[in-house]
Structure 1
Amino acid sequence: MSRCQDMTSKPISFFIHHQGRGHANRAMAIIRQLPAERPVSVLCARPELFDGFERPIDIVALPNMIGAPVPAPGLFAQPTPEIMHCVPLGVAKTRGTMRTILDHLDDVDPALFVVDVSAEIAMLARIASVPAISLRMHGDRLDPGHLGAYQASVGLLAPFDRTLEQDDTPAWVQAATCYTGGLCTTVDAIPSRDAARAKLGLDPVQEIVVVLTGGGGAGTPYAPLTMAARAVPNALWLVLGPTHREGHETDFGNLRELGWVPNVTDYIAAADVVIASAGDNTVHEIARVGRPYVCAPEWRYFAEQTRKAERLADVGAAVMLREWPGALAPWRTILDAAKALDPAALAALYDGDAARKAAAYLERMAINLWAQEMPTTLRLANDAPPLLSAA
């Protein structure tokens, strides 16, 4: 076997978090762009997320340890170490997850382990002597757990444009990061506004607001939407995805819940304004089509969506809702503010080549790390200060 063949025979393994569909869809978009001769394995607690994926991959089912009960109050009372985020004691499913991961890594001896996302598993990879790439997300992530995971990784991958980087991110983290540009997993054709409305049977001139919910939360709160529909009665409000009702809402004829739809791109293209969360793929779906955007961040750990929405507002790509308005008056102003934004600011955040760039980065790292001579192009990820002063 030639040296080049040997470098591509080692697998790239992926740990994929099973919350929502975004992590799995992103992994598949990147894996599609890896060389066909590179073996790939995926470890996930919801292996069905990869059903129908056209590329041959080895899928390893993990126990779903999220929310598994702690068996005794004494164990439950033990504090969590600052360097970790979620490490309950005495949980068999957690132990089974770690054992399955380690057994698999030992069996396949991967060139690279891509972690999307878990600080603990990135550190586990380092302890197990496996080079890991950690996916980066927005949020308040200057705690020892995140910084420790970044230091433990050989590189970092950010599936967003560098323009959206947070000002408080340490320089060493930025230097270790490959920014792919905005990675969108949707590949549907983008129609014009008029063509989209004709296809969907919508009025060609009426103002249309599309409210989009991602798959990782409980749904868009419905009560504020009823206020919006009442405040702007001449607009048609179309809600895609689930909503969260509290039971006291009054429905309005210009507010329609459509649930999950297969052709989200058509609805975004038909909209005058899109109101949506700050989920990674959601942001880039809207940027890809280029419609005025009101960003309503959902609660996420470490203020992930809030910090991302702030950056979107800072660069003029979206109007940020700090909270859903509880009155009628603000809604017209909010929609008009979104329409007044320069559409180029949002469109620039999407990169149709992002998945290929991510795959190229992973392939390059998988080869360079195992080369017998130190490549001059290999960027060392761990040129970081001591952890407690890293922030």
Structure 2
Amino acid sequence: MMRIGYYAHHHGSGHCRQIDKLAALLPIQKRQQLTVFTSLAPEAYAFTAIDEQQIVRLYLEDERIDDVLKGRAGEYWQPASLHYSPIGNADIQKRSHQILNTIVQRNIDLMIIDVSVEVAMLCRTASIPYLYVRLPGLRDDMPHIDAFAGALALLAPYPQAIEAAMTPRWVCQKTVYLDFINLTKNNTSSHQDFIKTLTTLTADHPNVSPSFATKPIITVVKGYGGHEAIDAKLPELRRLLPSAFIISLGPIDNDMRAYVDIATHVEDVTPFMHHSDYLLMACGLNAVAQAYYCATPLVVLPDERPHQEQATMAQALIDQGRALSWEQFVHSMNAESTSAYPTKTTSVQTQDTLEDDRSSFSQNAYLSKAQVLMDSIITYSTTKSWFNEWLLPQLELRPEA
């Protein structure tokens, strides 16, 4: 088996979650060959498939008061291939040493970078082979293009079907699409079980009517990377559907609690995704991976992110017919009679179409591409043989001889 290093960016927990999901596809005894590099604090994400001794907690890369040059010093003081490059930053110097020293000490064969063009360039200049995780969004700036060009290949943790139309052709040709990597088990709870769950959640809310079993159920899912924009829609959501039972999962501003029936946190959002009549959520990769194959109509409210990451994902879902924008949702609700309740029959996709999607991208199918990748890592012992015999046949590009 090749020894793999995985760089997980510290913004949010999603990058660490991705390698945790990939590691879970390996036999337990093989997972010890993985090393995770991250600046994310241990309390920010609890790994389930990776032990702490496999994690290298990197120095932060924040600017320091004693930097010779700040990280973005302008056109004539900053390389075009980097987004952020302070000079004289002791923490980044130590961080770079941590990465390179660990790669040598642990005989790491291949790095997977999720995501950092600076770490990509560090690996390329040190002659270390790497794969680059390509997230949705407009990433056509020079640093990203150079990081893509320097990689052996690109990994996309989403289906090719929702690739943005503006993505350069060569980038698609160099990409291995893993589809959504989602280890959540198929929902086995019934609608009756779900109603029992809601009954339990409302037990401590005497002002909540127990008649939610006969009302349309709207679930609003929010993460911890930013929820204010979705919260701001709650008053209009209540106006549109005054009789609906509205559930808010995740953080919520106190002044918005009056517009929902329940505001809570749950360990598993899967039953809510399957048994609600509408699902409102942002377009984070992990959340979309869970919701994509549910029959529940999806309304996307993308958060502002660098490179329009969530906006691009949202538009791809809308273009594919898998989701409604907020504007489309408002229009459809205003077009309904005041007594009409939204149901799954109003989904933007017909049930037959969604079933076709499930046939093409069933849980086993969309896990299999990630599984095949991880199995190939087990099969080959050298990066060169893996690159020539397994990776290149997956791509539509070839390097020059």
Same fold (TM over 0.5): yes
Map 1:190-209 onto structure 2 (within 5 A).
Answer: 190-201=188-199, 203-209=212-218
Aligned equivalent of 2:392: 379
What one-letter code is carried by the residue in structure 2 that aligns with 1:204? A
Aligned equivalent of 1:279: 284
Aligned equivalent of 2:376: 364
Higher relative contact order (CA 8 A, sep 6+): 1
Report the Cα distance in structure 1 between the residues aligned to 2:220 and 2:54, rounded to whole angstroms: 37
Q: Would you say the 8 A contact 1:368–1:378 is kept in 2?
A: no
Structure 1 residue 359: Cα displacement: 4.4
Aligned equivalent of 1:352: 363
Q: Would you say the 8 A contact 2:157–2:179 is kept in 1?
A: yes
Report the Cα distance in structure 2 between the residues aligned to 1:345 and 1:105, rounded to whole angstroms: 47
In structure 2, the CA distance between the partners of 1:15 and 1:330, relative to structure 1 (3 Å rule), is same
Report the Cα distance in structure 1 between the residues aligned to 2:299 and 2:70, rounded to whole angstroms: 44
| CA RMSD after TM alignment | 3.3
Structure 1 residue 227: Cα displacement: 2.3
Residue of structure 1 aligned with 2:180, choices 176, 179, 182: 182
What one-letter code is carried by the residue in structure 1 that aligns with 2:19? A
In structure 2, the CA distance between the partners of 1:12 and 1:141, relative to structure 1 (3 Å rule), is same
Aligned equivalent of 1:59: 55
SS at match of 1:204: helix
Structure 1 residue 194: Cα displacement: 3.9
Q: Would you say the 8 A contact 2:68–2:89 is kept in 1?
A: no
Give the percent of matched residue pairs that are identical in Structure 1 and Structure 2. 24
Aligned equivalent of 1:46: 40
Q: Would you say the 8 A contact 2:36–2:55 is kept in 1?
A: yes
What one-letter code is carried by the residue in structure 2 that aligns with 1:251? A
In structure 2, the CA distance between the partners of 1:14 and 1:374, relative to structure 1 (3 Å rule), is closer
Structure 1 residue 130: Cα displacement: 1.3
What one-letter code is carried by the residue in structure 2 that aligns with 1:299? E
What one-letter code is carried by the residue in structure 1 that aligns with 2:221? L
Aligned equivalent of 1:4: none
SS at match of 1:289: coil
Matched, 1:229 2:238: yes
Structure 1 residue 186: Cα displacement: 3.0
Report the Cα distance in structure 1 between the residues aligned to 2:328 and 2:382, rounded to whole angstroms: 46
In structure 2, the CA distance between the partners of 1:373 and 1:37, relative to structure 1 (3 Å rule), is closer
Q: Would you say the 8 A contact 2:70–2:85 is kept in 1?
A: no
Map 1:1-391 onto structure 2 (within 5 A).
Answer: 8=1, 10-35=2-27, 36-37=29-30, 39-46=33-40, 48=42, 51=46, 53-56=48-51, 58-65=54-61, 67-71=62-66, 75=70, 78-79=73-74, 80-187=78-185, 189-201=187-199, 203-244=212-253, 251-252=258-259, 255-321=260-326, 332=334, 339-342=346-349, 343=351, 348=357, 351-353=362-364, 354-364=366-376, 367=380, 370-371=383-384, 375-379=388-392, 383=397
- The runs of 5 or more residues in structure 1 that have no matched partner are 1-7, 386-391
SS at match of 1:239: strand
| Structure (1 or 2) with the greater helix fraction | 2
- What is the TM-score normalised by the length of structure 1? 0.82
Report the Cα distance in structure 1 between the residues aligned to 2:236 and 2:169, rounded to whole angstroms: 44
In structure 2, the CA distance between the partners of 1:320 and 1:337, relative to structure 1 (3 Å rule), is farther
Report the Cα distance in structure 2 between the residues aligned to 1:337 and 1:70, rounded to whole angstroms: 57
